């Protein structure tokens, strides 16, 4: 009888606790190849032994669609016109996201470039690859920790 009561309570907790209350995460779908688009390419800094880990800067969100850090070295196409997107920085447990809203007018390729950084903030640039001209930046954003410290007694 004790096992049956425990199992009943356990199932009630599991079944009620597993119900999701948030919105599902939507993946970004790039426009078709024949849609006029601007292209963004992220960047990765190489890992340094005994210093810092890999650093990534990439387009992580376009409109409501999300992309993973694995998109840093692939082209992200965004349809011309008014665009909302976010540039993200990731290094170990540090993460920064800065949202942009801008008018994309030309079918141009842009490179996201890592700039100087410290332990609490990072700089980045957006460079037009055809002209070499910096169109955004340097932008300085704080690094936020992805993880809350856990103290065990």
Domain ranges within the chain, ordered by starting residue:
25-145
Token look-up 């037009």 returns 128
Q: Which pLDDT value is given to residue 70?
A: 75
Q: Which pLDDT value is given to residue 109?
A: 93
Q: Which pLDDT value is given to residue 49?
A: 65
Q: Which pLDDT value is given to residue 22?
A: 56
- φ and ψ of 100, to 5 deg: -125, 150
Asked whether the beta carbons of 99 and 84 are under 8 A apart, the reply is yes
Q: 141: Cβ–Cβ under 8 A, 6 or more apart, which residues?
A: 89, 96, 97, 98, 121, 122, 124
pTM for this one? 0.73
**pLDDT averages per 10-residue partition of the chain, 153 residues:** 65 55 74 92 77 78 85 86 88 81 89 82 88 87 58 36
Written in H, E and C, the secondary structure of the chain is CHHHHHHHHHHHHHHHHCCCCCCCCCECCCCCCCCCEEEEECEEECCCCCCCCCEEEEEEEECCEECCHHHHHCCEEEECEEEEEEEEEEECCEEEEEEEEEEECCCCEEEEEEEEECCCEEEEEEEECCCCCEEEEEEEEECEECCCCCCCC
């Amino acid at each position: 009888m004790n096992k049956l009561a425990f199992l009943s309570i356990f199932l009630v907790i599991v079944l009620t606790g597993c119900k999701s209350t948030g919105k599902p995460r939507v993946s970004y779908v790039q426009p078709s190849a024949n849609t006029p688009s601007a292209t963004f390419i992220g960047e990765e800094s190489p890992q340094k032994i005994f210093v810092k880990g890999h650093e990534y800067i990439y387009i992580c969100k376009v409109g409501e669609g999300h992309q993973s850090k694995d998109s840093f070295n692939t082209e992200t196409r965004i349809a011309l016109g008014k665009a909302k997107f976010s540039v993200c920085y990731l290094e170990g447990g540090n993460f920064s996201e800065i949202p942009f809203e801008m008018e994309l007018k030309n079918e141009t390729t842009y490179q996201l470039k890592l700039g100087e950084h410290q332990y609490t903030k990072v700089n980045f640039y957006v460079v037009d690859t055809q002209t070499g001209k910096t169109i955004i930046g340097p932008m300085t954003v704080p690094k936020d920790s992805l993880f809350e410290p856990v103290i065990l007694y």
